[in-house]
Amino acid sequence: MSNKDLGEITENVENEVENLKNTKMKVFGITVTPTSIMGALALAGTLLGTLYGAFESYKAFQEMSEKLNAMDIEAVEERNIAIERKLNDAIDYTRDIKNGLRDDILRIEKQVDRTEDLVRETEDNVRASIQRAEERFENKRDALQNDYNAKASDLRDRSDQAIEDLEARLNKKIQRALDNPLAN
């Protein structure tokens, strides 16, 4: 079993959760939190997805312009429709990624809040248990002290009575001896 106090352990856990929530880091001279990093990653994913879609469109356009002389207009229109469909799919996919990241961040924040509440509740329960234990120990100590005092008083009273009885017998024998010195 560890020598650490349970209250110290719970305080350390609570401090670590608070520190995680309020952690600030410097990146390229800018102070950021884990939440702002996740937001930046979501934004970067959105931008990269859009750029990828634009790049694919541009690449397709270049291919199409090279083959335009050999193709007919209907084929070009079909190709444009397919490209638009892919671009819309890429935009939808990027939007889904962004929404998924936002939902993940919200879920993590809720979990952190639940953890903080659980830590606080546990800490309150531990403190209440410690308080009850201290009260029981104090009551037991008082009861033991009262028992000790009662037994000491009873022992003192019996000892005093025994001494008085012994003195009385001794005085009686001495008096008999004094009253009749020839009897012994």
| Domain assignment present for 62 | yes
179 compared with 100, residue with greater pLDDT: 100
Could you tell me what percent of the chain has a pLDDT over 90? 49
183 compared with 97, residue with greater pLDDT: 97
Q: Is residue 116 within 8 Å of 17, Cβ to Cβ?
A: yes
Whether 94 shows a pLDDT value over 80: the answer reads: yes
For the segment 6-22, what is each residue's pLDDT rounded down to a tens digit?
777 787 777 776 766 66
119 compared with 66, residue with greater pLDDT: 119
Distance CA 155, CA 147 (A): 12
For the segment 152-176, what is each residue's pLDDT rounded down to a tens digit?
999 999 999 999 999 999 999 888 8
For the segment 43-92, what is each residue's pLDDT rounded down to a tens digit?
888 988 898 989 999 898 888 777 765 566 777 788 899 999 999 999 99
CA distances from 92 to 7, 42, 55 (A): 50, 14, 16
- Domain range for 83 is 6-132
pTM above 0.95? Answer: no
| Domain assignment present for 10 | yes
Name every residue whose Cβ is closer than 8 Å to that of residue 71 and which is 6 or more positions away in sequence: 64
| Domain assignment present for 184 | no
Confidence of residue 115 (pLDDT cuts 50, 70, 90): very high
Q: Report residue 79 as tokens.
A: 């190709």
Average pLDDT over residues 102-123: 94
Cα 73 to its chain centre, rounded Å, is 66
How many domains is the chain partitioned into structurally? 1
pLDDT at 1: 46
| Domain assignment present for 89 | yes
